[in-house]
């Protein structure tokens, strides 16, 4: 049995987008994981329901993670830690990047307010480092964890974005929520970044008629490696519960990841994403975010315009709107 700690309001609502359905000749629906409830909502609340029991299990004094300064995960983790009276420490960079020919993105991202303000309210200990690669950020997080252990504290480490087998298991379970709420879709479009949302949904939907498209928030062709690693971890978890032969191990070609709408860099808003935010707000009254869901919804609108989507289509709204208030 995989332990779950209830932290969110689930099932999250699912409803039709009537105006956009009419405009694009689709049957377009939205899954409102922006309304999970924990600390203004978002997809990370689902992962925390399965990650926090592990922190409790090891009697953690402090949880250590890392991410971008405007991380939605750190905000929701801060709330979960507050509920459990566990310290929350995070190594952050304003704009961590992939080493593309050794260059860092030249455009700066928002640094204050938004999630940073909420982290302070929840009492998160943010340790900010100068912009560098993700690998360097992971090293800073490990160093932070070791320093806390040297102070005789029990540390529970959580990878970036809460993306581990347990994080993916949350979305493996979330797919069943949809099956109960509305029945199957022809297409599900979700933002993707650290991998567990897509890995969980892909494993749950495998063998069904639903096509899952992940639209990357990261202009990184190797993102599939991260999604695969998390999917492998989920497979190991699922196989602990039943015979490995019953659960197929997904391979690279089982994941449909599109990087065309990632914009200039991870964490940097794009023109298409900003336009998509306004489109959904002005047709359906729903807020997206500039880093993940705006870019993914821009992708959905382009795919719909190119007739690459048909029938019943679901957009998975993973949250993130606090970043609209980042400066
Ligand atoms: C983290 C996040 C995602 C990406 O989910 P992953 O499981 O990390 O791929 C998408 N949207 C929002 C708003 C997020 O905070």
> 314 near 185, Cβ under 8 Å?
yes
Which atom of ligand 1 is found nearest the CA of 191? Answer: 10
- At residue 127, the 3 state secondary structure works out as strand
Please list the ranges in the chain whose pLDDT falls under 50.
none
Best residue among 76, 161, 325 to mutate for probing ligand 1's pocket (most ligand atoms within 8 Å of CB) is: 161
Q: Between β-strands 125-129 and 27-32, what pairing exists: parallel, antiparallel or unpaired?
A: unpaired
DSSP codes joined into one string, 238-303: HHHHS-GGGSPPP-GGG-EEE-TTS-SSTTS--HHHHHHHHHHHHHH-----TTTHHHHHHHHHHH
**Residue 58 dihedral angles phi and psi, to the nearest 5°:** -95, 10
| pLDDT score of 245 | 62
pLDDT score of 265:
94
Tokens of 20: 């956009």
User: 126-159, pLDDT tens digit by residue?
Assistant: 999 999 999 999 999 999 999 999 999 999 999 9
Residue 72 Cα: closest atom of ligand 1: 15
**Residue ID of nearest Cα to ligand 1 atom 1:** 161
State the pLDDT at residue 104: 74
- The closest residue, in CA terms, to atom 15 on ligand 1 is 72
Are 205 and 250 spatial neighbours (Cβ–Cβ below 8 Å)?
A: no
Looking at residue 111, its pLDDT comes to 83
Quote the CA–CA distance of 37 and 83 in Å, as a whole number: 14
* Nearest in space to 174 (alpha carbons), one of 193, 153, 200, 151: 200
Supply the pLDDT for residue 109.
76
- What is the structure's pLDDT at 244? 58
Q: What is the pLDDT of residue 99?
A: 82
| Predicted pLDDT at 98 | 86
């Amino acid at each position: 049995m995989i332990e779950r700690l209830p932290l969110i309001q689930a099932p999250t609502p699912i409803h039709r987008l009537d105006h956009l359905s009419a405009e694009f000749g689709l049957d377009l629906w939205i899954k409102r994981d922006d309304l999970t409830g924990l600390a203004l909502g978002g997809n990370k609340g689902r992962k925390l329901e399965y990650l926090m029991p592990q922190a409790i299990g090891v009697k953690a004094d402090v949880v250590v993670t890392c991410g971008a300064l405007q991380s939605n995960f750190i905000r929701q983790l801060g709330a979960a830690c507050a509920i459990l009276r566990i310290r929350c420490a995070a190594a952050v960079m304003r704009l961590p990047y992939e080493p593309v020919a050794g260059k860092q993105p030249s455009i700066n991202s928002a640094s204050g307010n938004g999630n940073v303000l909420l982290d302070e309210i929840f009492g998160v200990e943010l340790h900010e480092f100068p912009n560098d690669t993700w690998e360097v950020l992971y090293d800073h997080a490990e160093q932070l964890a070791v320093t806390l252990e040297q102070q005789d504290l029990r540390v529970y480490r959580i990878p970036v974005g809460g993306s581990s087998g347990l994080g993916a298991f949350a979305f493996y379970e979330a797919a069943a929520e949809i099956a109960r709420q509305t029945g199957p879709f022809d297409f599900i479009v979700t933002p993707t970044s650290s991998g567990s949302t897509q890995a969980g949904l892909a494993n749950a939907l495998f063998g069904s008629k639903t096509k899952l498209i992940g639209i990357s928030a990261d202009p990184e062709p190797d993102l599939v490696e991260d999604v695969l690693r998390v999917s492998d971890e989920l497979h190991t978890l699922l196989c602990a519960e039943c015979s490995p032969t019953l659960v197929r191990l997904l391979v690279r070609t089982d994941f449909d990841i599109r990087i065309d709408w990632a914009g200039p860099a991870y964490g940097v808003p794009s023109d298409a994403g900003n336009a998509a935010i306004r489109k959904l707000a002005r047709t359906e009254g729903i807020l997206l975010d500039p880093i993940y869901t705006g870019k993914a919804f821009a992708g959905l609108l382009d795919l719909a315009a190119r007739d690459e989507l048909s029938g019943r289509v679901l957009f998975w709204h993973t949250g993130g709107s606090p970043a609209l208030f980042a400066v």
